Amino acid sequence: MPAHSYALFSALFPPHMGGVEKFTANVARLLLERGNSVTVVTNDSEGLGAGERDEGGVNVVRLPCHPLVSGRMPLPRPCSERSELLRALSSQRFDGVLVNARFYPHSITGLRFARAQGLRPVLLDHGSAYLSFGSPALDLAVRRYEDVMTALGRRYEPAYYGISERSAAWLGHFGIRACGVIPNAIDAAAYRAQACGRDFRAELGISQDALLVAFVGRLIPEKGVRQLLDAARDPRLMGRDVAFVLAGDGPLAPEVGKARSELLRWAGALDAPDVASLLLQADALCLPTRSEGFSTVLLEAAACGCSPIVTDVGGAREVVAGPEFGRIIASMSADEVVRAVMELDDDRSLVSLRSRNCRERAELFSWDRTVDALERALLTS
């Protein structure tokens, strides 16, 4: 008999990749290893086929959906198959229900399911600001959408938690008092060990002595991609032995491709072993993002000894506990990025100091601690 039975509702799940997806997959794996029964309820956003299947011991239920915004915003597709899957799920008994994020229609499905089971759901928020798409008109509509979805979710009286201290504080914007933090995590040693050994400096023509500043993520405006492009063209960096390497794909990919220059390289979309290799070779990770809950790549970089240059969002201050760990910049402007890069280039001793400290700090964010916190929340809410 399993110790407990848990249902994890996540609008997105691998093979769709992102921070929430990685979090859900890792939490499910460890809960299973602890002898629990785990069901992940998600959407068929990748077209694998709706239905229920065993994926490495985890029962994964993929519901029919309309995968809008390149699959990032799956909307429920009402149909008999969806109803039958939810009906079969309702026939099982669970000891706890986790719902990831406030604003997906899928989140409301999870909250409603928990209440039907007689459980108080745990809602884990992964943001620290409103979503943004770089358009004032669209962003206003998105804010109103988030407000409405959050109000709908509050009717189910879930126990709210944040993925970081900043995320928990952000809930206060909606008049919600968080019960605590269930932080993002990483297996630092395992993450480093998966590196494929690719030599990005050699491939991209970057000298071993150059200050390599990496960006890893979706190439979208809210991640500060355009600010990075502007920084790489800044006259103050010309003549310095500095290189920016952007890894990822997204709507701004054509713009990034055209902007490649003496200081800027684009590595394209990379898989996890490639990203680990890049971060092990990089001196700094630059993440001038507008909003994060607790960026997974921030922890991945720290595990590799790649110190962050990051805006004050999400879990930034949990990783960058002081200037000896990295640099928190005041805004996502290109000027802030340039000044942080020049600071490192002017004092290369900071690179080794921050690298060592980040590696040590990454060890604090273990999956065991996170799942301990999650199970306490699920069983006591």
Contact 167, 174 (CB under 8 A): no
Give first-to-last CA distance, the chain, whole Å: 23
**Alpha-carbon distance values, 369 to 12, 131, 299, 360 (Å):** 23, 28, 15, 16
Give the span between the Cα atoms of 97 and 362, in whole angstroms. Answer: 28
* DSSP-assigned letter for residue 4: -
Omega prior to 15 cis, within 30 of 0: yes
**Alpha-carbon distance values, 201 to 126, 269, 360 (Å):** 34, 17, 25
Give the span between the Cα atoms of 61 and 26, in whole angstroms. Answer: 17
Contact 225, 246 (CB under 8 A): yes
Task: Kindly report the backbone phi and psi dihedral angles of residue 11, in degrees, each rounded to the nearest multiple of 5, phi listed first.
Answer: -55, -35
pLDDT at 134: 67
Give the span between the Cα atoms of 98 and 8, in whole angstroms. Answer: 5
R_g (Cα) of the chain, nearest Å: 21
Give 10-residue mean pLDDT values along the chain (381 residues): 91 91 96 97 96 97 92 92 97 97 96 97 91 78 93 97 94 96 96 96 96 95 94 95 96 91 93 96 95 86 97 90 95 96 96 97 96 97 81
pTM: 0.88
Give the span between the Cα atoms of 214 and 206, in whole angstroms. Answer: 12
pLDDT at 164: 92
Contact 263, 246 (CB under 8 A): no
- Of the CA atoms within 13 Å of residue 206, those in its CB half-sphere come to 28
Cα dihedral 174, 112, 123, 288 sign: negative
Cβ contacts of 190 within 8 Å, gap of 6 or more: none
